[in-house]
Structure 1
Amino acid sequence: MAKQTNFITMTLDKVDFQLQEEHTFNWLKQLGAVFCVFDQQDSGNISFGVENDGQRYFVKYAGAKPIDFTGNPKDAIERLKKAVPVYQSLEHPHLIKLLDYFSTENGYAVVFQWFEGECLHSHWSFGGVAKFTNPKSPFYRFKKLEVEKRLKALDAIFSFHTYVESQKYVAVDFYDGSILYDFKNDETKICDIDFYREAPSRNDLGEDFWGSNRSKSPEEFELGSPIDSITNVFNLGAIAFGLLGGEMDRSFSKWDANQGLYEVARRAVEEDRNNRYSTIKEFYDAWKSVLNQ
């Protein structure tokens, strides 16, 4: 299918963004003034940074047709509605905070507390090689942080997902694009858990199952495979290699932490699920016991 190029440029409070077709955002005015727009997601959502009386909010909206979206806006609306109880069930200090949600004339909006973090996979600003090589890229800057700070970030990620597991949920579509890092305060938060599901679950999409190829487990490419805690152990191990090592190159020579942590991460990303840790808690406990030695 030929890619559309004649996009509509819209402006809200001096911020320009593009859509495939006109859409009304009058409802946004009641929330405040728009100071930034994220319009290059392929999920069907478009998101806004909004400020009101010195308070900032992150507003995720479905119903429009963003430029990288090839699906039906109605499906995006349904997905966003289904995400609300997920954020409610998994509320946690390391997860962005859900504040409000409502239907609009042509869509559905979810409002979160703003977090002053930068996305570690900001493909809209640093796509392709730039993510790894541009000194301004959040991922590049994160990889230059001392190991202790990166370990603290991973601890936030692991502790949140241990909680997810305890609530009988399974992470779906978790990758470095779901990680926000505040470089000023060295604080980490998880965002975009819209596809997390109640456990147990199965791969209902085959190789196009949600997620990044860089952190997906073998079962996330195979129709009908279980998507469970053992799957998530792989995802978290892959994230550890992304933030502390050579990502897809999982050799020890690319690893910035100690041998013990390498062994834990290595076991987590075993191709054969039977050789991985059986729960996120078991993985996290093994990780912490090496850290505390």
Structure 2
Amino acid sequence: MKSAPHFTMRQLSAFVTAAELGNFTQVARRLNLTASAISNQIAELEGLLGFQLFERTTRKVALTPEGREFLPAALAIRRQLEAAANIASDIRNRAVGIVRVAAPLTVAAEILPRVIADFVRHRPAVQVRILDTGVEWLSDRVANGEADMALGPDRIASPDVMVETLYPSAWVAWCAPDHPMAAHRHLAWADALQWPLVAAGRDHEHSVLPRLPDNIAATVKSAQIVDNVTTALGLAAAGMGFTCSPAYLAGLARRMGLVQCELTNPTIMRAMTLYTPLGRRPSSWAAALATHIRETHLGPASGIDD
């Protein structure tokens, strides 16, 4: 009986990524390798399989009929290898006391350090590692085992992830002290939008615009559209317009010299959320940290000025 070919994770990742991107240079950039290394790995895989996976040209690569047929199996094998690696990582981490928490950059910088410092003060053997993660990937990193839990804004989660609302936080406006908005403690959105808005693109599109009435959303004048709320706050501090964020980032905004204005009509809420896995046993340290987050550090506070 002929033995099965011995694939490596690198070969399968190179093949699957090349099938997605269609260009070895882009694959190399994503996998932090050289284009020649990617080409060699795919050539090795083709040698093991005994058939060609790609038609190659100087500009792009395209799957052969055999490559298209093999792709679903390669994806399944890669998923199984990743799952095995994550299970092994869980076992090691339970043994040495490592807890991994995924969080978006602002939460990782503004909220988690205080939570972690308090948690490990009486648990010196525990290591809590923060995984900087985009908001849209928080649930996925918990579901696939990369993180023991995630802390961040509410988003639709995978069915194998439990979502717990810790506390609500309103979207508020931030501006420089000499901005005309600084004279107001409260403003309706329709009045606030007379001034240019510095928008944190993806969050603004997903969390703010859909909750504004169409006639108000249509009046938005964007001074800048950036990827990260920290950048938006910095531009607002430089007088480039006002920006908005959940009020739980008040500490960061005030350290940048910004002034808060509550936004009403409508009041748009955002929930600080804890994501934990369903159907996967957490380590005792991960369970303890989750309890610590629920009960100790993150009480019901909006961050809005009284």
Fold shared, TM-score > 0.5 on shorter chain: no
Task: Compare the two structures and name the one with the higher helix fraction.
Answer: 2
| TM-score for the superposition, normalised by structure 1 | 0.24
Normalised TM-score (structure 2) = 0.24
